[in-house]
Amino acid sequence: MSSPSTPSQVTRPDEFVVVLDFGAQYSQLIARRIRECKVYCELLPYDTPVERLAALKPNGIVFSGGPASVYEADAPACDPRIFDLSVPILGICYGMQYMARALGGEVIGGEKREYGRTELRVVDDRDLFAGLNPQLICWMSHGDVVASAPPGFTVTAQTENTPVAAMADVNRGLFGVQFHPEVVHTPWGIEVLRNFLYRYCGCRGLWTMANFVRQATEEIRTFVGEHQVVCGLSGGIDSAVTGALVHRAIGDQLTCIFVDHGLLRKDEGAQVERAFRDHFKANLVHVKAEERFLARLAGVTDPEHKRKIIGNEFVAVFTEEASRIGNVNFLAQGTLYPDLVESGTTSSGGKSAVIKSHHNVGGLPEKMNLKLLEPLRHLFKDEVRRLAEELGLPDTLTWRMPFPGPGLAIRIIGEVTKERLEILREADHVIVDEIKRAGLYRKLWQSFAVLPVIRSVGVMGDQRTYAYPIVLRAVTSEDAMTADWARLPWEVLEKISNRLINEVKGVNRLVYDVTSKPPGTIEWE
């Protein structure tokens, strides 16, 4: 059976911070912000044994927020001995309330809840608020309040409805903030995190992609030894970076298998082949399997069924090709942290709902008996792009917008056919081209075409048409966990509409999706 081993998770950098996850929706965002401060960070469950935390020797610990009330009987709580580790701790929202209650303070239900934009008044700027204005705007999301801080703590900030909006025991290195410094709605929040990391945790900002590459390549070499590795390329940035990183580490011991399922965007197959065969001089097997995938997808309309068929067929094709190489011991794949979250398999120990399946999460059939290399498993998409630049990948791959493993199949809302794929591929090309012409490509998280299998009436050249509409989806996001629909200029929408109808045969209408995530998802299926 495939083993979930991955060497880049075994050895941690010299300085790192642990975020204990109490179930907050923003826990991952805390980790991302800490990494933006160039400090490596890992998410662990709130009930991680204190002995394990002590053995990890983190520079600091952060308690996340959470939906519970600390005074409830079954409220999540960590081992109180954590406060005796002599490790600086920052509690955020629920994390602050837990800290306050555990150390002798009082937490009660507030008379007035605070949600959203809130004015904060700093009353002591000697610690986390050093260098900041005394009057600030922050983002609150709580109903309970710390009515009195624990013995030894100083109140450092207040709001109209929260007497203890921040507190500190500098001598013990313990801090709490009721607001969320990790969200963009607290624009100065990263300064609070930076003060905690640099002033109290002793961090120097050693987490860089250059250091990551150096450490990861050494660990991959040690882990793999003289064995052979295969890497499945899908055309996206994640698998491409995985292949490039492993190739940097072990060279010709790696064979990349590019399963071209015919569901890619225009010219993507050729771009991947040029990058790996011509640029990196890597061993590359390019399998052109469009007809095989289309045959399996014939008559299928259910989106999850499509995903499973494509994932299973991808594995089948990949397995066949890998078996021809012989004596392969490892599989490298481009799993990212958001993949694990949306697949319900987070390493933080929580139970996440399965939003959609990912065919690169879960491993290959038992008969392959391969060990997994997932060197990007704890990286976010923005970190993967920085890593791609560090590895020297071409811009066409580095800055390509995220693309789902099942490809265009899940952007056709209905049965997938060769004709519909060609229509969608050309429509998507027009959209991306106009987005680039408008200088918006790197400002958007994704922009793409969706083809619903319905037809609408139109008029072209005094003749009635009965053709497909194209749905334009364009969103802004930082990590795909949440997203907002992009406010594209009217003139850009007009150009896209004109080109689609004039240039793409079979299309007579454009509509624009203005749904955020949540409640929608970025993809339609």
The catalytic residues are 93, 180, 182
Alpha-carbon distances, residue 372 vs 212, 307, 375 (angstroms): 19, 22, 9
Q: How far apart are CA 257 and CA 317, in angstroms?
A: 10
CA neighbor of 47 nearest in space, from 73, 72, 15, 23: 23
End-to-end CA distance of the chain: 30
Quick check: 447 and 472 in contact, CB under 8 A? yes
DSSP calls for 172-229: TTEEEESS-TTSTTSTTHHHHHHHIIIIIS-------HHHHHHHHHHHHHHHHTT-EE
Alpha-carbon distances, residue 171 vs 127, 152, 178, 368 (angstroms): 11, 9, 20, 55
Q: Which residues pair with 231 in a beta bridge?
A: 256, 332
Alpha-carbon distances, residue 288 vs 291, 292, 310, 517 (angstroms): 8, 9, 14, 34
Q: From the CB of residue 299, how many other CB atoms can be counted at a distance below 10 Å?
A: 7
Contacts of 498 (CB under 8 A, 6+ apart): none
CA neighbor of 27 nearest in space, from 75, 63, 78, 69: 63
DSSP letter for 346, please. Answer: -
Contacts of 12 (CB under 8 A, 6+ apart): 40, 42, 56
Beta-sheet pairing, 484-485 with 463-476: antiparallel
Contacts of 111 (CB under 8 A, 6+ apart): 161
Quick check: 123 and 156 in contact, CB under 8 A? yes
Distance of CA 137 to the CA centre of its chain: 27
